[in-house]
Amino acid sequence: MKTATIPALRVEPELRRAAEEVLNENESLSSFMEASLRASIAQRKLHREFIARGLAARDEARETGQYYDAGDVHAELEGMLQAAKRAGNRQ
The pLDDT tens digits for 49-70 are 999 999 999 999 999 999 999 9
Residue 7 is assigned to a structural domain of this protein:
no
Residue 18 is assigned to a structural domain of this protein:
yes
Q: What is the pTM of this model?
A: 0.72
Residue 48 is assigned to a structural domain of this protein:
yes
Domain range for 30 is 13-90
pLDDT, tens digit, 9 for 90 and up, residues 6-34: 999 999 999 999 999 999 999 999 999 99
DSSP H stretches of helix in 5-69: 13-21, 29-64
Q: What is the mean pLDDT of the chain?
A: 95
Do residues 23 and 31 touch, judged by C-beta distance below 8 A? no
Do residues 17 and 48 touch, judged by C-beta distance below 8 A? no
Do residues 29 and 20 touch, judged by C-beta distance below 8 A? yes
> Which candidate, 29, 23, 38, places its Cα nearest to that of 9?
29
Residue 60 is assigned to a structural domain of this protein:
yes
**Residue 1 pLDDT > 80:** no
Residue 4 is assigned to a structural domain of this protein:
no
Separation of first and last alpha carbons in the chain: 45
Distance CA 89, CA 15 (A): 44
